[in-house]
Chains A and B, each alone.
Chain A
Amino acid sequence: MKIKKIIFTLLTSFIITTGSHAGKIDLTIINAGAPGGTYSKLNDALIKDLGKFYNINVIGADSESKGHKVFQSIEDRPVYVNSRTAFFSGVNVTKKEKPLINDSKKHYIVFAGKFNRAVCVQKNKDVDTLLFGKEQSLKIASSDGVIFGKKFVAKLDAQTNSKHIMVPYNGSGKLIKGLITGDVDIIVVNQGSAIKQWKDGNINCKYTTNPSSGQGLQPLYKKMQDPWAGFKLTYTLYGEVKNVSSSFAKDLNTRISQILSDPNSNTTKKISQLGWSSLIADIEGLRKDWKESYQDTVDILK
């Protein structure tokens, strides 16, 4: 067979495959969580619940940065994504880059899921001795990026007169593995991921960044001499929607509020299982929370 014919056949297959994607959908949801990760699990639950009200098309983006890229690129249909936009926008501003949300007229915030970090050490070790012991030099790992991790360590150093070393990681799974294999002494890790390992006896956790404690962990802010450790900064996954009218956004916000108020919904069950909490508020209330969270991040990183 002639090579040109074969290339033509292959090209035709590609065009047919890509061209067969047609038709409008009611709501596209980008799942920007890594498959198997806690964000993804929450997204899956929310998608299942929203599926009762919308014809949903899910796009798997497997990371928040990819999720944003996809979110920005879609202009022809209503699209929704959950992401830590306030946190990333705060970090971006610190780096003198654009915040992720800079046009409030086009984007509506319709959901806020708040989650926490747990402070854990190796099993058989004492969290207080390692975290608050004086004049130590330990390795502390964080998955919130280098700038943020260094800030946390600087605060702890100031309180304990220590000289700890910050080790950055990308992802909760790797953080936990780093702790188990002895790469690091302390981790500040997604609580949802830590709890299972703690219960299985693989690691030892004691504190949470949740000011109201929860899941058997104590609030960290009571032990750290800095309101920041409260954490005044709340880690929040905000749900943004765009390419919609304000009435569409309000309707979506109402639906989500109903889901969050229903103790039997998939989302509520998942939020509880992961040790998260949610903020039930209208669009304006959620926008206000976003701005506060964003400002907290900027202030902390100053």
Chain B
Amino acid sequence: MLELSWTFIAYGVFFGTLAGMLPGIGMTVVMILASPLLITHQSIEIIQFYLSAILISQFTGSIVAIYFAVPGEPSSIPAVIEGNKLARQGKGTQAIYLSAIGSAVGGIIAFILIWFLGKNLGILFKNFGTLFNVVMITLVVILLFLVPAKTWIERYVFPLVGMILGILGESTQDVNVSFSLGIDLLETGVPTMPLLLGLYTLPLLLVLIQNRTDTAKSFVQSISIKDVVFNMSHVVLSVFHAVLGFIIAFIPGIGLNIVSNLSYEIQIRMNKYVEQKNKGQYGLLAAETANNSGAISVILPLVLFGLPTTASQAVLYNILIEKYFLFGPESFNNLLLNSILQVLLVTTFAGLLLAGPCASILGKLFEKFEKKLYIFVAILMIVVIGYVGIQTYNLELYTWVIIVSFVVGWMCRNMDVLRIIYFFIISSFLVENFTRILYMWELM
């Protein structure tokens, strides 16, 4: 049965193109921007939106990476290294198509794997409750702490600040209890969107607007498909990296960033046995294929266990929680599975078109409007969040949160403030499950 929401997939394609092509925007910003649009719709439509946006962002991210040496999102760094090198050698079309076809193969392999594993995963995970959540979230926290941080503030203080902010408001266990640090305004908790806007997005956009005075050199060229080569070695490699990416991305806390770069690193080591002329192409193919298949498996821990493993998923999680979405086997049913599979097919095809034949058009648009787009996005976010503040009668709280978090975000603009946000969003999940296990074990 076809359960596709074409409107939401179209939104996903549009927002995913923004996320992929505008450096710094990424899926987290896209999810915040789209939140007011999503919140009134069905959970399944929201998931379809997220899936199509994240898949498209993986396709389009390589366009700016190859043509302008700008990583649209961190998972496009290998595309910058290898893709732009090929573009400089006059092989831009080959790089663009290699990346687009590789990404499409990643999507198809993910489709096949989900199709085979999907229903069994649902049955398997029926047995995983609070204890499993505790183990998973502990693993995620450990992994997050293992991710290198530049300073001790980023490593220890940011997670702590995020946790404290996250547990403010209504208790995760008891409707009659709330934590507010004695500030009345905080009795209902810190709103996510203004915090993200002030702490992360606005400082980032301002830095990007400031720094984009020196336009990167463009290698946009007309696409001529007859020059493109995609042979058997490309097929074998893309299948291998698609499977690898799918498996790695399933580990909670990994994220596409690591998936893409890890696949690339593995390919670099394998390249010792490869002809010099193919090395760059294989590296590019490895990264692009892995991040597209990983874009699907990375969402499985969220849908199956209610465990967000990236900042953008945490925003998605917040929206789905408000929709009373039952994470786990009850929701991971045939309807959702079919929906994921259909979105995967449709979006892979759309992505192939965008990142293949349409790549030069998108590249030229990016060249022309990049800086204006940043300003437009910044204004749009302010307007959207101001509107939500008014609609929810939280304008005072929203204003304070934006001001305070913007000051902190601007001061820490060279640091990884996403660590605060990630811990902020997972803290309620973490506290809820740890507290519940204490009750279950009669320790509370």
Contact = CB atoms under 8 A, between A and B. Distances in A.
A225 interface: no
Contact of A145 (B43, B175, B329, B439): B175
Given A66-B188, A69-B187, A168 B386 contact: no
A170 B175 contact: yes
A73 B187 CA distance: 13
B40 A181 contact: no
A74 interface: yes
| Shortest beta-carbon contacts, A-B, top 4 | A181-B129, A17-B386, A36-B324, A183-B129
B323 interface: yes
Given A34-B324, A60-B392, A178 B129 contact: yes
B395 interface: yes
Given A9-B375, A177-B327, A181-B328, A74 B130 contact: no
A48 B324 CA distance: 22
Interface of B: 39-40, 43, 126-131, 170-178, 187-188, 202, 206, 209-210, 322-330, 371, 375, 378-379, 382-383, 386-387, 389-395, 432, 436, 439-440, 442
Most buried by A among B128, B375, B379, B387: B379
B39 A35 contact: yes
17 contacts: A1-B209, A6-B375, A6-B378, A17-B387, A17-B390, A34-B324, A35-B323, A60-B39, A64-B175, A69-B187, A69-B188, A70-B394, A145-B176, A146-B173, A170-B174, A171-B324, A173-B326
Interface in A231-261: none
Interface of A: 1, 3, 6-7, 9-10, 13-14, 17-18, 21, 34-37, 59-66, 69-70, 73-74, 88, 91-92, 95, 139, 143-148, 165-173, 176-178, 180-184, 197, 202
A183 B440 contact: yes
Contacts of B171: 170
Given A18-B386, A37-B324, 10 more contacts: A10-B378, A14-B386, A36-B325, A59-B392, A144-B175, A146-B176, A170-B432, A177-B129, A177-B330, A181-B130
A62 to B, nearest CB: 6
A7 B39 CA distance: 29
Contacts of B389: 18
Nearest to A88: B176
B386 A70 contact: no
B383 A165 contact: no
B395 A18 contact: yes
Given A6-B375, A59-B393, A17 B327 contact: no
Contact of A202 (B202, B330, B442): B330
A183 B436 contact: yes
Contact of B379 (A9, A60, A173): A9
A41 to B, nearest CB: 10
Contacts of B202: 10
A254 B389 CA distance: 33
A231 B43 CA distance: 34
Contacts of B129: 177-178, 181-183
B390 A183 contact: no
A167 B436 contact: yes
B383 A13 contact: yes
Contacts of B329: 180-181
Contacts of B39: 35, 60
